[in-house]
Copies of this chain bind each other. A is one copy, B any other.
């Protein structure tokens, strides 16, 4: 009965506003299959929660992802 939380930045996808429902379904299906294949966990009791995080709210290297993306452009 695993619980998986996936946090990604809200960016990319067809209109730049984050993963599409179809992409999220691929993540849910993929990680559920992984847990079944590696640890024999039942999909029926595998929970997955996806969080999209604003670029202002994600930090790495002491900078926000917003600032990092602006520098990359």
Contact = CB atoms under 8 A, between A and B. Distances in A.
A4 B6 contact: yes
Interface of A: 1-9, 12, 19, 21, 23-35, 37-41, 43-53, 56-67
Nearest to A5: B5
A31 B32 contact: no
B32 A61 contact: yes
A62 B63 CA distance: 24
A66 to B, nearest CB: 7
A24 to B, nearest CB: 5
Nearest to A44: B61
A53 to B, nearest CB: 6
